[in-house]
Amino acid sequence: TMSDNAGSAAVEAASASTHKGGELAVQHAEPAQPEAGAVEGSAVPTAAEGTNGNATALPDHPRRRPKVELPPGMTKNQYKRMKRKEHWEEERQKTKLKRKEERLRYKERRRALVRAGALPRSALKRYKIREDQEPSNVTVAIDLDFDKYMSDKDIKKVIKQVQNSYGANRRAKHPVKLHATSLSGRSQARIDELDGAANWAFERHATSYLEVFDKERIVYLTSDSPNVLEDLSENDVYIIGGLVDHNNHKGLTYKLAQERGLRHARLPIDKFVQLSTRHVLTVNHVLEIMLHFLETRNWRDSFLAVIPSRTGIEGEVEEKKDGEESSSDDSDDDADDDDAAEAVGEARAGAG
C-alpha cells in the first residue's frame, strides 16, 4: 500500500544518512503491544478511570492546604490574625525558654570560673559594695498596696522600680533599712518572675505598713503635702507610694495619709531646683535622692545628681540673703514651684 511504501522509503533514507555521516544512529521504538485478552480498538483505562470505566477523583495536590473550617462568627481575616497571634506567642515562649537556659548556662560557667579562681575580684559582682559603706538606721518602706489602681503593665513598671531601688540601696555609702509592704497579689506574682529576686536583701511583708511599724513613726512622702521634709530621722519610717497612675489618681496618697491620721511630708525640691515641666519621680529616684542626702547632707546636690535631665531642670533656685525682700513676682514663682514640687515623693512614674 501507499503507507507501507512511504515507511520503507523513510527507513532507507535514514539508513543512507547513517552510512554517509557515520554518526547518526536511528532507533525504532517498538509499538505498544496490547495486553493479552484485549480486543483491538478498545480503549485502555487511564489513571482517572477505574477498571469499570467510571471516572474517579484525582488525589489532592501535595502543596494544596486542607480546607479549614472557620469558627462560628469569625471571618477568614480574623481567623488568620488569631493564628498569627498564637504562632507569635508560641515563638515568644520558646525564645524566653531559650534565653533562660542560656542564662543558666552562663551562671554555671561563671561559678566554675569563680571556683577555679579565674575571675578577678572586680568581676564577681555587677555592682560592687563600697568598701567605705556604713549602713544607716533610717528606715524606708515601699507601699505596694495599689494593685487595684494599676494595669499589669504598670505593675511591671513598679516592680522594676523596686528592683532599681534595691540596687541603688546596695551601692549606697549609707544604705537604709529597706522594706516592701503589702507585697501580694499581682505584685508578688510579678516579683516572683524575676531571676534572683528571692535573694534580694530587703524585708518583705504581705501586710500593710500599718501592721509592721508603729503609727507614730510613720511619715508618708507625698507631693501634695504642705509639709516640707527638712532632714531624715532614724526615729521615723518613710513610706514611698508604689503607684504608677499617669496622673489618673492625683492626690491619692495624700488623701490616704489624711484619712489614716498619718504624718506626711514632701521633699524640698522647690527650694533648690526649678523644673520647666511638671513631672513625677519614680520610686527609685525618690529613694536615690534620700540616699544621696544621707551621704552629702545637701538636698541641692542630691536633686541635681538624681533627677533625670529629661525632666527639664532649668536651674537652681537662688538662696535669699537674710533681710532680702521678695519681689512682686514671688507669688507667681511660688505657685510654679508648688506645681513642680508636686512631682516629687509620690513615686508615680511619668507618662510612657
Give the Cα separation of 35 and 25 in Å (integer): 30
- What is the model's pLDDT at position 341? 36
pLDDT digits 0-9 by tens, 264-295: 999 998 888 876 655 568 999 999 999 999 99
Pairing between strand 273-275 and 313-316?
antiparallel
- What is the model's pLDDT at position 307? 87
- What is the model's pLDDT at position 124? 54
Cross-sheet strand order for the sheet of 218-221: 203-204, 177-181, 139-143, 237-241, 218-221, 263-265
Give the Cα separation of 45 and 35 in Å (integer): 12
CA-based R_g, the chain, Å:
41
DSSP class of 201: -
Q: Which amino acid is at 280?
A: V
pLDDT digits 0-9 by tens, 58-105: 555 666 677 778 888 889 899 999 999 999 999 999 999 999 999 889
The catalytic residue positions are 245
Residues lower than pLDDT 70 in the chain: 1-64, 119-129, 275-280, 310-352
